Amino acid sequence: MSAGTVAGTTGGRSLRRVVPRTEPWCLPDSRRVLQLSLAALWLFDAVLQLQPFMFTPGFGSEMIAPFARGNPASVASAITWSAGEMSRHATLAGVAFAGAQLLIAVGIAWRPTVRIALGLSVAWSLGVWWIGEGLGNLLTGTASPLTGAPGAVLLYALLAILLWPAPPGGHADFVAARPLGAIPARLIWLLLWSGLAVLSVSSFNRQPDGISGVIRSMTAGQPTWLAALDRSIAQDLAGRGGGVAIATAVLFGLIAVAVFMPRSIRRASLILACVAAVAIWVVGEGFGGVFSGPATDPNSGPLLILLAAAYWPLRPRRTDLSAASAVEMRG
């Protein structure tokens, strides 16, 4: 076992002893809590993947194959081929999908394997983003933030990168800044939310009845209270697609740029991002459709909330505060 040397002093007498490099167990910090939240979502996905339908040929033919529609031939051919193979080997596909997600969840939850599991989750997510989500329909012209664009599984990959364990000792303004640095992390947020803003005003989303149609289509099989809510909102938004699209784009744009603002503005914008994510999740995504039938994941809503949490400004450490006050006193 590797060991590190630790020096200590007791009563003026210097002690030198060897202790194992293994750190004592400590309570989860903010980043670990977010990692565990990500693991819980992966575990939920694994349970959803174990539903009986996922072990039938319908998983490939009805859930995967439709993502080929509208995509360029180079993207669509791989989806069609995979869907065909999944239909032919339905049980094997079900076991593979559930097994991979279970492995990722357990790996993130168990501290010694966090890095391996997060790395695996990035690779798995990118593969599923292509094969299982048709690149979030970004190339089809029908992608909408309201229905999960740019693809929930892409957000899993993004979170795995932003929550990557950083070397101990460093401190950052927010959790997502630790592995990459504050500027790259902020640029990722800017790219994501400005991308959502752009998608909001695509011609598909600007159609007068586009958004209301999407919401109305979510009512089938939902709990009665959610179906009633969806119908009511769809009715209110009928014929107003253009206005809603522009308002949504402005809101997402503000959320995107606020990440470069002072802490108080950032906090407000992150709360706004969470509210938007909840609205997307409940109204647009119907909780990922998990209540209404076989669904593979809860869609992008919870992941957007988790992302916002990773950008929440942390309290400065006591040592940083002391340094700041020392500078003030010297000044």
Query: What is the contact surface with another protein in residues (CB under 8 A)?
Result: 1, 6, 8-10, 15, 17-20, 22, 24-26, 28, 32, 36-37, 39-40, 43-44, 47-48, 50-52, 54-56, 91, 94-95, 105-106, 108-112, 221-227, 287, 290-293
The nearer residue to another protein, 10 or 264, going by C-beta atoms, is 10
Residue of 245, 305, 253 lying closest to 277 (CA atoms): 305
The nearer residue to another protein, 117 or 259, going by C-beta atoms, is 117
Closest CB 323 distance from another protein, rounded Å: 20
Residue of 194, 67, 187 lying closest to 138 (CA atoms): 67
What Å distances lie between residue 193 and 130, 206, 246, 312, CA to CA?
Answer: 21, 18, 14, 16
Closest CB 47 distance from another protein, rounded Å: 5
The nearer residue to another protein, 164 or 193, going by C-beta atoms, is 164
Residue of 181, 191, 241 lying closest to 216 (CA atoms): 241
- What is residue 26's DSSP assignment? -
Alpha-carbon span 245 to 131, nearest angstrom: 29
The nearer residue to another protein, 155 or 255, going by C-beta atoms, is 155
Give the SS3 label for residue 5: strand
Closest CB 218 distance from another protein, rounded Å: 13
Closest CB 70 distance from another protein, rounded Å: 29
Closest CB 82 distance from another protein, rounded Å: 20
The nearer residue to another protein, 76 or 108, going by C-beta atoms, is 108
Residue 235, sorted as left (phi over 0), alpha (psi -120 to 50) or beta, turns out to be alpha
